[in-house]
A and B are shown apart, each in its own frame.
Chain A
Amino acid sequence: MASLHVLANPARFRRFSQKVLPVLSGATALVLAVGLYLALVESPPDYQQGETVRIMFIHVPSAWLAMAGYALLAGLGAALLVWRHPLAALMARAAAPVGAVFAAVCLLTGSLWGRPMWGTYWVWDARLTSMLLLFFLYLGHIALSRAYDDAERGDRAAAILALVGVINLPVIKFSVDWWNTLHQPASVMKLGGPSIHPAILTPLMVMAAALLLLFVVLVMVRTETEIDRRRLDAAERAQ
């Protein structure tokens, strides 16, 4: 906890990220290369879906990270509103567009899987609708944080939205259990272990690791940018 607290200082974070980013970027490239090889070459087709199962290797990790990203936004929102951490607002600004892209990739790849498998690009069932709502919450966060001339007011408004929207996360996760849906129930994160054969589960988990690393790299690069941007704004105002 103490080490995390140290990173709440923007200048310290910047020094930390400049040290860590090269290593993380290399790891991302490596794990992504292995993941793509496993997903596109090594893994077998599915007994029902055939080759189209390969769409899942992007779709499912994107969904996880879009949700984890929103949990991060909510945590940063709390850190800003309750503890006034100086880094929280900057990191939230950096992370919201990243989460939005992961949510969009999840929705679009899911749609491209649904057409050949279900027979439709889209239905308004509870899972698909709540996931679309997550994407809109991200867009709302981005818009709110830029809606005021005073950046701090925008940060606060966006933080409140992040905290309100966090209610949507359990709804997404359990939508397939609470209501019947067209979307299939959970295969990996469920009681009794995954119902995915290891030959298909392994590439899925490696791709999830790769996209998690990519998510972290993106957020760090963008947080550095936000810290520098705030310094630049401060310098301009001082003139």
Chain B
Amino acid sequence: MSHTPFIIGAYVVALLGFGGLLVASLLARRRIKRELGHRGLERR
């Protein structure tokens, strides 16, 4: 049995999990900041 697909699969799982969460977190922060800005609440 070739192990290569399992090794690649594990790194793909990590990329999707961690990368996906990072992108989702950054997008959520940007959206909230924008909404705060619309209400003139952006604090500096």
Do chains A and B directly touch (beta carbons under 8 Å) in the complex?
Answer: yes
- Chain A residues with a Cβ under 8 A of chain B: 11, 40, 50-52, 54-55, 58-59, 62, 97-98, 101, 104-105, 108-109, 112-113, 115-116, 211, 214, 217-218, 221-222, 224-225, 228-229, 231-232, 235
Residues of chain B lying within 8 A (CB to CB) of residue A225: 25, 28-29, 32
Q: Is the interface of B mostly helix, strand, loop or mixed?
A: helix
How close is A138's CB to chain B, nearest CB, in angstroms? 13
- How far, in whole Å, are A87 and B25 apart by their CA atoms in the complex? 18
Contact yes or no, B6 A232, CB < 8 A: no
- Asked whether A231 and B36 contact (CB < 8 A) given A98-B21, A221-B29, the answer is yes
Within 8 A of A (CB), among B6-30: 6-7, 9-11, 13-14, 17-18, 21-22, 25-26, 28-29
For B1, B3, B26, the residue with the greatest tally of chain A CB atoms inside 10 Å of its CB is: B3
- How far, in whole Å, are A225 and B1 apart by their CA atoms in the complex? 46
Query: Which 4 pairs from chain A and chain B are nearest by CB?
Result: A109-B10, A55-B10, A225-B29, A228-B32
Residues of chain A lying within 8 A (CB to CB) of residue B43: 11
Nearest neighbor of B21 in chain A, beta-carbon distance: A101
Contact yes or no, A52 B3, CB < 8 A: yes
Contact yes or no, A228 B6, CB < 8 A: no
How close is B1's CB to chain A, nearest CB, in angstroms? 6
Partner among B6, B22, B25, B32 whose Cβ is within 8 Å of the Cβ of A113: B6
Nearest neighbor of B33 in chain A, beta-carbon distance: A228
Contact yes or no, B29 A218, CB < 8 A: no
